[in-house]
Structure 1
Amino acid sequence: MSSLAKALSVAILMGAAGQSAAAINGAVVDRALVAIRQNPTATRLSAADAFSARSVTVDRNGTEHVRMDRTYGGLPVLGGDIVVHSRAGTLQDASLTLVAPINVGITPALTVDAAITAAGVQFGTGFQAVPSASLVVYARGASPKLAYDVLYAGTKTDGTPTRMHYYVDALNGAILGKEDAIKTGTLPGTGGVTGTPAPPPNVTATTGTGRSLIAGVLSLGTQWNNTRRIFEMKDPTRGNTHITDAGNGYRTEASTLVVDADNKWGNGATTDRVSAAVDASYGFAKTWDFYKEKFGREGIRGDGVGAFGAVHYSINYVNAYWSDECFCMAFGDGNGTSIRPLVTLDIMGHEMSHGLTSVTAGLIYSSESGGLNEANSDILGTMVEYYVNNAQQPPNYIIGEGLFVTPAWNKAIRWMFKPNLDGISPDCYPSPTTPSNGISLANFKAMDVHYSSGVANHFYYLLAEGAVVPEGYGAGTPANLTPSSLVCNGNTTLAGIGREAAQQIWYRALTVYMVSNTDYAGARVATLNAAADLYGAGSANHNAVAAAWDAVTMQ
């Protein structure tokens, strides 16, 4: 499989509305805290626990869902997050993965230097900043442990930045786990500003015309900066989302805002550097519009603040990534021959949806939760593509096919309806006794998240579309797929519920029920809960969720 494939990673029917941390309803949070303390068994409460609210969702029927982070003895608990579901002050349920209250000592036997050294053995010598370490409670394994969170920053061989967190047992130095903060970072340097800040500019929202590489001729949200006397690729109607040019360097924080004299951007070819920026601006705008129209969400964080994207990152960089730390994306220019700049709609929606995951469920980027993290980006990136329905980028359940200069049925990053078309990803979740595509359950849990994501992608396709072979992949084509090759349990009559209902169920499951350590079993519960909320327990859509999961599970 290509390195590209591995690297890339409506108002809800019940009227739910998410709130940013700045706008959280204090009374709702107070009721959730009371519910936690009144139900210590269900919430795995210990005497040393404290909680801080991250988001609030309130349904029309008054049910309140409060997502909280947990600390123990003042230390962050990784894997201790919880969503409290209550109504009228009475706990209905709690979403969490802790199996028992935490009971660990918080005095380390290992020194900070020893922890950094233990992590450095795995990272190697190519780090670009002084490593740091802080104490945490690591509750992502079978039992919580006191650990150091050791951070090493550097650059991978393909130019992608890495900010690798190693979790080192604070008693014996064992590596308990690791996770990269870059979803496929902040880069070297702080980007700090010196001197007296300039006063805010005098700006006016405008509409520009862009000629993109991929999406055709477009209208763009831009602004006229009356102070600088120039048009800027910044959209004040979408939270000041803006596009910068990284100058083929490695520092997104030092990239330069894209500007223009006449509000006409790009020439539709790579001979104008701005053409890729046009695609990026378009993708940011349409992803913003998708989340707002379908889910009532104002921006990735739900706080009305736009992210930014840096085009022309590095040289011959065949990748794109999202960084939670800079709240930004970076786009490579491809390899200059067979791969285009990575600014297609599905890639744009994919990367920005990593930001959504970060501020909601916070799915850990490793093992099964990491696969779900990647799948969420594929799922919602695909739904952005369908929402836009641009004839230049026809929507489908194939990820990244528009990046290839010479299209073909087998040139893509991932295929949601048949993940194993890439030759690696399993189509279905292995059972303890039955592998999927030769992959055992143990190997599935350990494999790269860009491959284990395939099972959730496959589930979503079957939920939305049913056991229907997409055009161009049926019997007699090179793929030669049949309905029986799309399911793992022989249910070739499986019917889809449509994209509108499927995306509502998935979004609610992610934002209301999933937590950082949710695995595939937990995702099944979360989507069933979401379907019951939206359409009723035992409804056709609720039953369809169960049937779709059954169809992607080895028997």
Structure 2
Amino acid sequence: MSGYHRSARRRRRAAALALTTASSLLALGVQSGPVSAAPADPGPSKIVATPRAGAAQTTLSPAARTSLIKSATAKSGDTAKELGLGSREKLVVKDVVKDADGTTHTRYERTYAGLPVLGGDLVLHRKDGRSTTSKATRATIEVTTTTPKISAARAADKALTVGKAADVKRSEVEGKPRLVVWAAGSTPVLAWDTVVEGVQDDGTPSELHVVTDAASGKVAQTYEGVHTGTGHGQYNGTVEVGSTAVGSSFQLVDGGRADQRTYDLNQGTSGTGTLFTDDNDVWGDGTQSNRQTAGVDVAYGAAATWDYYKDSFGRNGIRNDGVAAYSRAHYGNSYVNAFWQDSCFCMTYGDGAGNASPLTSLDVAAHEMSHGVTSATANLTYSGESGGLNEATSDIFAAAVEFHSDLEADVPDYLVGEKIDINGDGTPLRYMDKPSQDGASRDYWDASLGGIDVHYSSGPANHLFYLLSEGSGAKTVNGVSYDSPTYDDVPVTGIGIENAASIWYRALTTYMTSSTNYAGARDATLRAATDLFGAYSDTYLAVAAAWAGINVGDRIAVGTNLAPIDDQTSGVGQEVSLQLDAYTTNSDATLSYEATGLPDGLTLSDSGLISGVPTTTGTSDVTVTVTDSTGSAVSDTFEWRVAFIYANGTRVDIPDVGAAVESPITITGRPGNASAATEVYVNIVHTYRGDLTVDLVGPDGTVYSLLNRSGGSADNVNQTFTVNASAQPVDGTWKLRVRDVAAIDVGYIQQWRITP
């Protein structure tokens, strides 16, 4: 929950003074942002701005792109050293894009001891000899051994079991499991990546990746590799389609777009089927009964998507390499879906229930093909919050393609799948202005979002994009009525769909990585808005406001801003260092700091650093005020508790299914007994906390159970327990006792503290 929703006692603020911010189309935690100095009423009108020309990505010829990739590859060893990577790590160039001002953004995959590192991707941004990075993980890539305890055969068996549990029919392991380093979790581990092929419940092909810890045999992650989602079309009306004359006939081969091809699968489920062919270059008749009609919609959707990315961003095809994907219509019998596959670099469309309603509308085509763009860039992992962002990205660009095409037969809107009427009641699949209207999607972010289906966790990002494009409240766009709410009931001003899409595209292709979550996406879009429109421009502030509208971060006010300060607890005699996070949107303005209520022994420096050594126990309300040189000011009030706190930060390894280990803390000079509310903070790094028993042992030997194999398969113990230890003397040796009572997973006590 954002800082605006804390209790009234803690949130007292002085008034600010400003004197001068493969997934199918169907579906079968965030840090608080800054405390703002008086959020402004955004008003009813859209913000109009022109992106900075220097931040536009230049259109690279295939030869120029290849040259940049070769150059980056030749320097990858030096780059690895520059980034401080270990001697066993290597960088593998995936892509390079270049801005008009000469900035290059090189996207790398990583290997460790020759093994692929999943979740180790990064982007190096370089300009004028200076560089910054966007990383999927900040963890050091290192594993104790590259020799697996679990065999490939056992990993394959485990993956098959997982596939069957996920209802993948006719499941079989594709090839052999691949040994990798899995770096998307809390700690990098050696793992097997197994692909289970089969068929999902609705007939969609499945390429289920099962990542298995190569030491424990436990499943670290699963994600799906299949992303589902002049002619007369059923949905697009009369449109131009690219065709090629071959002798006396014509083929749906689009020579203007790298020979994009459209095939008729003839109700098959494999291969490419038959290339659509016609004798007079007039395709379809607008009715479903004519097989070419679906081909027209499919071919047009592919062409419109190609044109959108090229016209808007200079992107040369899905992978930006000038290579065309191909499309397949009439897949299966009564197949109610459409999907994208990286493995074939192709799009596939079913004909709907009773083969009567093909899923070939323009937004479906753009949605599915945009999964290919995501795969070629950030490659957002298709599970958890990143999976929701992956799905939302496809919905976002589906809407953008519709507005770019501006068809009379498919009027642009912020609805998904409204033309195909898959529910049979005239309703769309998804609503971007208020996603919960579909009965399952979320409107706002919360901490549980990563645990639901990615088609529904996409809701908040879709909602964000609508708010950013059109703004909140009731309005009519192209004859469609919308009424978009915000999480905090504060209005949001739109910036227009073109600028909103430009910001999302730059964030996706330049700053997002495979593990980006909602908080990371906010950061990426703000960085993109800075590139395109300038930091703290009206457009930049609108991006922050739209994220606040879905409960991710806070608005940024014009003037002085201060990040919320959590309640503090410090120990008597223990050094304190707390840096305030403040800034001002007023250019060239300087900041000054003052504080009241600081505990004895602490001071606030001119740079906003609270430091010192507390000398007296007690609790006080501290108010910090930050003022910039124009007079704009903001304050925050929080609680600071000073107590007797004792800690042990020496690592103690926990043996697997072994004897209990102990970490001691000895207290002297404290007469009397401990509190009935003694606090024990425990930080244990362990990949399966359900294996552990954790006890506090008092000075007289009394044992207090803190954790008894609770928490299941979750990683780590990082929490504070409260114990009635009033029968114990404070003086003496207290021990944290930990035992691992189940096989395979291991870990260690990182640190613990006690406040008796």
Equivalent residue in structure 2 for 1:248, among 263, 267, 279: 267
Q: Compute the displacement of 1:33 (Å).
A: 5.3
Q: Distance in 1 between matches of 2:478 and 2:280?
A: 45
Is the partner of 1:84 in helix, strand or coil? Answer: strand
Residues 505-520 of structure 1: matches in 2 within 5 Å?
Answer: 505-520=503-518
Quick check: 1:32–1:86 contact (8 Å CA) kept in 2? Answer: no
Q: Establish whether residue 63 from structure 1 lines up as the match of residue 63 from structure 2.
A: no
Is the partner of 2:170 in helix, strand or coil? Answer: coil
Quick check: 1:131–1:153 contact (8 Å CA) kept in 2? Answer: no
Equivalent residue in structure 2 for 1:532, among 530, 533, 540: 530
Quick check: 1:321–1:351 contact (8 Å CA) kept in 2? Answer: yes
Map of 2:399 onto structure 1: 382
Q: Establish whether residue 427 from structure 1 lines up as the match of residue 443 from structure 2.
A: yes
Quick check: 2:233–2:239 contact (8 Å CA) kept in 1? Answer: yes
Is the partner of 2:192 in helix, strand or coil? Answer: strand
Equivalent residue in structure 1 for 2:147, among 95, 104, 107: 107
Q: Compute the displacement of 1:155 (Å).
A: 0.8
Q: Aligned partner of 2:278: which letter?
A: D
Residues 70 and 224 (structure 1), Cα distance of their counterparts in 2 relative to 1, 3 Å cut: same
Q: Aligned partner of 2:457: which letter?
A: S
Q: Distance in 2 between matches of 1:362 and 1:79?
A: 10
Q: Distance in 2 between matches of 1:473 and 1:170?
A: 55
Q: Distance in 2 between matches of 1:128 and 1:137?
A: 23
Map of 2:637 onto structure 1: none
Q: Compute the displacement of 1:302 (Å).
A: 0.9
Map of 1:201 onto structure 2: none
Q: Compute the displacement of 1:100 (Å).
A: 2.2
Residues 130 and 308 (structure 1), Cα distance of their counterparts in 2 relative to 1, 3 Å cut: closer
Q: Distance in 2 between matches of 1:176 and 1:405?
A: 35
Q: Distance in 1 between matches of 2:510 and 2:344?
A: 25
Quick check: 1:280–1:309 contact (8 Å CA) kept in 2? Answer: yes
Quick check: 2:76–2:90 contact (8 Å CA) kept in 1? Answer: no
Q: Aligned partner of 1:329: which letter?
A: M
Q: Distance in 1 between matches of 2:529 and 2:458?
A: 21
Residues 388 and 84 (structure 1), Cα distance of their counterparts in 2 relative to 1, 3 Å cut: same
Equivalent residue in structure 2 for 1:262, among 258, 271, 280: 280
Q: Distance in 2 between matches of 1:482 and 1:271?
A: 38
Map of 1:178 onto structure 2: 222
Map of 2:238 onto structure 1: 217
Segment drifting more, 116-125 vs 289-298: 116-125
Map of 1:453 onto structure 2: 458
Q: Compute the displacement of 1:36 (Å).
A: 4.0
Q: Establish whether residue 357 from structure 1 lines up as the match of residue 397 from structure 2.
A: no
Quick check: 1:164–1:178 contact (8 Å CA) kept in 2? Answer: yes
Residues 336 and 470 (structure 1), Cα distance of their counterparts in 2 relative to 1, 3 Å cut: farther
Q: Establish whether residue 84 from structure 1 lines up as the match of residue 128 from structure 2.
A: no
Q: Establish whether residue 38 from structure 1 lines up as the match of residue 43 from structure 2.
A: no
Map of 2:490 onto structure 1: 491
Residues 406 and 83 (structure 1), Cα distance of their counterparts in 2 relative to 1, 3 Å cut: closer
Q: Compute the displacement of 1:490 (Å).
A: 1.3
Residues 491 and 36 (structure 1), Cα distance of their counterparts in 2 relative to 1, 3 Å cut: farther
Map of 2:187 onto structure 1: 143
User: What is the root-mean-square deviation in Å for CA atoms of aligned residues?
Assistant: 2.5
Q: Distance in 2 between matches of 1:236 and 1:326?
A: 20
Q: Aligned partner of 1:61: which letter?
A: D
Is the partner of 2:437 in helix, strand or coil? Answer: helix
Is the partner of 1:264 in helix, strand or coil? Answer: coil
Deviations 1:162-218 (A, max 9, x none): 011100110111000011110029xxxxxxxxxxxxxxxxxxxxxxx3121111122
Q: Aligned partner of 2:239: which letter?
A: L
Between structure 1 and structure 2, the one with the greater Rg is 2
Q: Kindly, what percent of the aligned residue pairs are identical?
A: 40
Deviations 1:302-332 (A, max 9, x none): 1111111100000001100000110001101
Q: Distance in 2 between matches of 1:365 and 1:137?
A: 18
Map of 1:462 onto structure 2: 467
Q: Distance in 1 between matches of 2:233 and 2:52?
A: 33
Equivalent residue in structure 1 for 2:293, among 266, 275, 299: 275
Q: Compute the displacement of 1:27 (Å).
A: 3.6
Aligned residues: 500
Q: Distance in 1 between matches of 2:497 and 2:76?
A: 33
Q: Distance in 2 between matches of 1:424 and 1:278?
A: 33
Q: Aligned partner of 1:503: which letter?
A: A
Q: Establish whether residue 237 from structure 1 lines up as the match of residue 256 from structure 2.
A: yes
Q: Distance in 2 between matches of 1:359 and 1:4?
A: 19
Q: Distance in 2 between matches of 1:531 and 1:264?
A: 44
TM-score of the two chains, using structure 2 as the length reference: 0.63
Q: Establish whether residue 160 from structure 1 lines up as the match of residue 204 from structure 2.
A: yes
Residues 392 and 473 (structure 1), Cα distance of their counterparts in 2 relative to 1, 3 Å cut: closer
Q: Compute the displacement of 1:398 (Å).
A: 0.5
